[in-house]
Amino acid sequence: MKKEKPVMVRLAFYRGKGGLRDKFVRLITRGPYTRVEVAVGHRMATGWACYSADPETGSIRRKIIDFDPELWDVVEIPGVSKTSVQRWFKARTGMGLNWRLYFRLPFWQEGERCGKYAPAEAAAAALGMLCPERYTVNRLHAVLSQT
């Protein structure tokens, strides 16, 4: 059996100005970040292959993004398999965005139960973290940037 080459998984946290939704997320999560992208593999000519529960499309998707350091903070995540992260997202591509959890509204349900994910919840679940629904984008950044 061929052993997978170690390829870094990175999380990119958006701290750009954004619109009204971004301002609301910052207010309720008490931090500078409004969304997170999971970047896998090596940088390509046009950017990174990223996965996210995307507020723009309202679903889980894959997209190539070139991170402007003025707008994004990137955290490298050692010891996480690129293949397992990709497998997690590919199995859920097209599932909806969990708006209640994203905005921390009352009566939210975690993604595995309702079939929809908030951005931080999807990233934490793909990394294999326990209770991924407990993370906001800002809490996820705080936890992962300490390791």
Query: Which residue in the block uniquely carries the two structure tokens 């003025």?
Result: 70
Closest CA relative to residue 121, chosen from 112, 133, 107: 133
The pLDDT tens digits for 43-74 are 888 889 999 999 888 899 999 999 999 999 99
For residue 58, the domain's CATH number is 3.90.1720.10
- Does residue 79 come out as left (phi exceeding 0), alpha (psi in the -120 to 50 range) or beta? left
Q: C-alpha angle with apex 131: 139 to 141, nearest 5 degrees?
A: 20
Say how many domains are in the chain. 1
Query: What are the residue ranges in the chain where pLDDT is below 50?
Result: 4
Q: Domain range for residue 84?
A: 9-140
